[in-house]
Chains A and B, each alone.
Chain A
Amino acid sequence: MNRLQRWIGETVVTHSSWELVLMRVLFAWLIWRLLPLEVVYVAQPVPNGLGRLIDLTFLAEVELWHVLRLGAGVGLLLYTIGVAPVVSLGWPTLLLTSFGALENSQGAIGHHLQLTCMVALAQWGVYLASARQGLRQILWPDLDDHRLAVHWAKIVIAAGYVASACVKLIASGGLWLVQLPDISLQLIKTHANVYYDTLRPTEGWVATQLPNLISEYPNLTRFFFAPGLVLELLAFIALAGRARALMIGGGLLVMHWLVRVVMNLSFGSHEWLLIIFLVNIPYWMWCAITRVRSGFSPRKSAAA
């Protein structure tokens, strides 16, 4: 394997069973958190995606939604322990996707649900494909299926970021970095949006002085924002093993943190997906603890 292949060669990471359980627990929690207590949309004024195929306004019926959501909760509990994910993950995935389609059929496309739904759909697809092997696989998929499901989650996350970078280059005619100083107006806009959402004054230099600084120092702006675009373009490197996933996932988290500080915009579910599937903190903590322990324990002699 040459050096380039080692860097970008896609591998299915052989996560331990405890890592996979933790990933499922966190992902189930993320899906549950995204399912609202009630649905307030009683119409689909501008149907989008799934909403163009099905009238999803039935979800706004309070009692029905409570039952459907409760079913999703039970499903997610079963999914965390790895039981029948075709159904236990499939049901919450269908419900979240339906709710997201209804929400996006109000005429305002938001972007906080799509990546989670796509990750859930990809994982569900893996379990569905493995179901061909028989009832035992449907009820209790083996470790390799769970690993493949996690690998597909990473593929979807990486593809989402690469697509986002491609759109930046396509929509701007390759001039994204040239146009970047005009982001100062977007800063003013997002801070104004936050103010008119809550009427809490947006204070601090980020809201009051940064837009003018960006406008006055365009090259400095490009210097700070360009790495984000490069990271998004190279997000596929995260598929080349744990260390690359940590590097790309960590970098994208820093990018989101900067966007949150500068633009007052948060992509919470994207950040959680990066933490769960790419950064994988529990594994690295386990590595660190193991290393520290082995450093303190007496060496075994070769003869022993």
Chain B
Amino acid sequence: MSDIKQQVRGFIASNFIISDLDKLADGASLLEHRILDSTGFIELVSFLEETFKVQIQDDEMVPENLDSLDNIEAYIHRKRAG
């Protein structure tokens, strides 16, 4: 598992009560599985900005970038590259 996904799993594990976090697939929707609620996504954004030193624009707050571990990893890579 990549470092980014590992760190995000760690963030979720220590801030949200999730039973069987290991069973959460990398591609699973965090919203549909109610892993993160609206407050949770705001906290995720802060975590990503602080941890990966990126600035998340408000129009980048979309499921394609944030709603799964796979999406988050791809998004962070793109931000760092671009």
Q: Do A and B bind each other?
A: no
Which residue numbers of A lie inside 8 Å of B, CB to CB?
none
